[in-house]
């Protein structure tokens, strides 16, 4: 069953077109990695999936994106509620600096008016537990989230997404600013989440893509060159451009 169905997606920043007629189906659950050189449209693609692309001044998109069969660009779709269903973790951790750890976790529910105070403690513990952070912070929930280490801040941001029970988690280079130990913790977390969520991760690290993903997509100059099972793409790519990229012969 497809979680996302994308047809003829094009995207621009001003006059510069950065996505060229991308059509792809992303299945529910599991992990899809997106690889490709800088500037090839990877991050723009996932930002289109939860309509964050439209927040950039001068940006626009065309085409159709369906989430569970529903057109996400339909007038009746509230972008704020869409982003609850399709959460995003960014390249650099971005906990809300004026909020405590607890407030950070609950912020999405508070924003959408869905927080029941009687359930708050349970939600915080579950979300932090799911993000493999509870044991490290359970005794300091009322301290600033910005006071955590970089790896802990990134897991806090993941917990913030998980607290609203999304269907999809988009991750844009989530480990690029982290040390190897913190990166390993995030990769372990992705492995656990793949059974419950659709995870789409943009990464420049091909070894990471091979470790964490079920499927890998290769983007080049705004075009989706190919998408296949990860092992197949890395060992028997269908397109010469993919082989050139993964073997280091890319120019």
Residue 80 included in any domain? yes
Residue 141 included in any domain? no
Helix axes 120-130, 150-162, angle to 10 degrees: 130
Q: Which domain holds residue 237?
A: 2-92+167-246
Residue 229 included in any domain? yes
Per-position DSSP letters for 162-193, written without gaps between them: HTT--SEEEEESTTTTS-HHHHHHHHHHHHHH
Residue 60 included in any domain? yes
Catalogue the E-assigned strands of the chain: 2-13, 16-27, 30-35, 59-67, 70-71, 86-89, 168-172, 198-202, 215-220, 223-229
Question: In a 10 Å sphere around its CB, with 0-12 CB exposed, 13-18 middle and 19+ buried, how is residue 20 labelled?
Answer: middle
pTM (whole model) above 0.75: yes
Residue 40 included in any domain? yes
- Determine the Cα–Cα distance for residues 190 and 169; give it in Å rounded to an integer: 10
Torsion of CA 115, 166, 50, 5, to 10 degrees: -150
Res. 44 pLDDT band, cuts 50 70 90: very high
Residue-level pLDDT at 117: 83
Q: What CATH code is carried by the domain that includes residue 226?
A: 3.40.50.300
List b or e across 213-249, with b for residues whose CB sees 16 or more CB atoms inside 10 angstroms.
bebbbbbbebbbbbbbebeebbeebeeebbbebbeee
Residue 158 included in any domain? no
- Determine the Cα–Cα distance for residues 120 and 105; give it in Å rounded to an integer: 10
Residue 85 included in any domain? yes
- Determine the Cα–Cα distance for residues 203 and 91; give it in Å rounded to an integer: 10
Residue-level pLDDT at 195: 87
* Lowest pLDDT segment from 17-21, 140-144, 181-185: 181-185
Q: Structurally, how many domains does the chain consist of?
A: 1
Structure tokens at 33: 């990695």
Residue 117 included in any domain? no
How confident is the model over 79-120, as pLDDT tens digits?
A: 988 998 999 999 889 999 999 999 999 998 887 777 888 899
């Amino acid at each position: 069953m497809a979680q996302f169905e994308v047809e003829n997606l094009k995207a621009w920043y001003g006059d510069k077109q950065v996505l060229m007629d991308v059509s792809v189906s992303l299945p529910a659950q599991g992990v899809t990695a997106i690889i490709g050189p800088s500037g090839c449209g990877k991050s723009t693609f996932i930002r289109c999936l939860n309509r964050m692309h439209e927040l950039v001044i001068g940006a626009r998109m065309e085409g159709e994106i369906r989430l569970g069969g529903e057109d996400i660009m339909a007038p009746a779709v509230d972008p704020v509620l869409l982003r609850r269903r399709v959460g995003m973790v960014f390249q650099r951790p971005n906990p809300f600096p004026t909020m405590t750890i607890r407030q950070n976790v609950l912020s999405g529910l508070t924003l959408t008016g869905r927080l029941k105070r009687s359930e708050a403690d349970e939600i915080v513990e579950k979300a932090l537990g799911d993000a493999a952070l509870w044991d490290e912070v359970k005794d300091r929930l009322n301290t600033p989230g910005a006071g955590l280490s970089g790896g802990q801040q990134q897991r806090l941001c993941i917990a913030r997404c998980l607290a609203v029970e999304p269907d999809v988690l988009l991750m844009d280079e989530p480990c690029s600013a982290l040390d190897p130990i913190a990166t390993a913790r995030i990769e372990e977390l992705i492995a656990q989440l793949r059974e419950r969520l659709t995870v789409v991760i943009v990464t420049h690290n091909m070894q990471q893509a091979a470790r964490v993903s079920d499927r890998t997509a290769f983007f080049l100059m705004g075009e989706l060159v190919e998408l296949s099972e990860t092992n197949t793409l890395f060992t028997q790519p269908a397109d010469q451009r993919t082989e050139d990229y993964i073997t280091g012969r890319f120019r």
